[in-house]
Chain A
């Protein structure tokens, strides 16, 4: 009889621990900040992080020279002007989905959309 009692209490205890763990996981996941950013890389190094929810304009310098201008507007990023001859980066248009990219090969500039934790 005593033994059964112990088992019952232990089960309740286990259940409580499990519920607490679940609740903790939930809280952690719900409070996670998940902003979307346009991350600029020049020469394979991170150059700047531009949150997509803030309209902004940034001039990107690559190898000390004015290379590209990135505009963040209405949750999207695009390159508005560039010093490269081919303008492929400008013609790529705007990006906003995770892992989408704008590449400027001549200036060695990559802009990629990343999710921030």
Chain B
């Protein structure tokens, strides 16, 4: 009898200690990968254990960054820049992740009727240079010449991108063409990192990489993640809406993310493949879907489509929804979303 009572007491004590050891929520942030901020939120017994997991995931993200980089080369790696540098010269043997990303990007080109085109590197490069100059010396900020943009646009035919899946090689047959995977690479990489987390049994996490948020599972307490949509009017800490999700990705393309000013007017980084100018229809477009890669590609494509066309595309896709903030500041949501509270949205799938 005494022994039994003693046992009960010990169990009680263990239960008490156990309560104190519930996994806590931690956050770790990094700067560098994909030239932006990455925020990893997850759960662990203590800060150190969480940091070990987060570092592991961030390292993986950096690997993808190197593979998908269009500006820098890295020792021993053939990346997207290597492919661009060899346009019209030679086919390049690349990592399977690059083949997958490029094939996915071509699929998205077709799905969106060319409103998102990774073969637009030549045009985007011009805007990039003018934007960098404008940011570095605001007084000398200029717009690219129309003729310059138009002649670059003659070298954006995605059919000149030749992907040989069997031999893992990529070749650009037009020497003037180049790839810019800015609309798909981050989303694809974050998705792959989330899959990697699952393979390492790291569950209940949210990874945000510069506007790309991908969640694995729910929060540890079983609640959905509340992903904020940054207000295009405030600073980066202000949210205009939030979306409750689990196992889903929320990706936002916004005019406020990268821009420069010419004569007091802002010119952002999302360039319409038809007009070759920054699209002025929206302040931001957010896509909620089960795939961060798809959300990323669609957020750019939808940004370049009038609202009716944009809506039609979203409604034709399963498990895919959108939040548009129009140029006048009004907010439109797709049919799979509803208001949970005034500022909080929930998905119906």
Contacts and interface: CB of A to CB of B under 8 A. Distances in A.
Contacts of A91: 235
Interface of A: 3, 6-7, 10, 13-14, 17-18, 21, 25, 41, 43-44, 85-86, 88, 91-93, 95, 99-101, 103, 105, 108-110, 112
Given A6-B1, A93-B235, A105-B37, A14 B8 contact: yes
B233 interface: no
Contacts of B31: 41, 43-44, 103, 105, 108-110
Given A21-B16, A25-B16, A110-B29, 6 more contacts: A10-B2, A44-B30, A85-B138, A92-B236, A108-B32, A112-B29
Interface of B: 1-2, 5, 8-9, 12-13, 16, 20, 27, 29-32, 35-37, 135-136, 138, 235-237
Nearest to A9: B5
A47 B135 CA distance: 27
A92 B12 contact: no
Contacts of A103: 31, 37, 236
Contact of A110 (B1, B13, B35, B37): B37
B5 A14 contact: yes
Contacts of B16: 21, 25
A17 B9 contact: yes
Given A6-B1, A14-B9, A110-B37, A92 B32 contact: no
B37 A21 contact: no
Contacts of B37: 101, 103, 105, 110
A10 B236 CA distance: 59
A61 to B, nearest CB: 16
A18 B11 CA distance: 11
Nearest to A6: B1
Nearest to A106: B135
B212 to A, nearest CB: 15
A3 B1 CA distance: 9
A95 B138 CA distance: 27
Contacts of A112: 27, 29
Contacts of A14: 5, 8-9, 12
Contacts of B35: 105
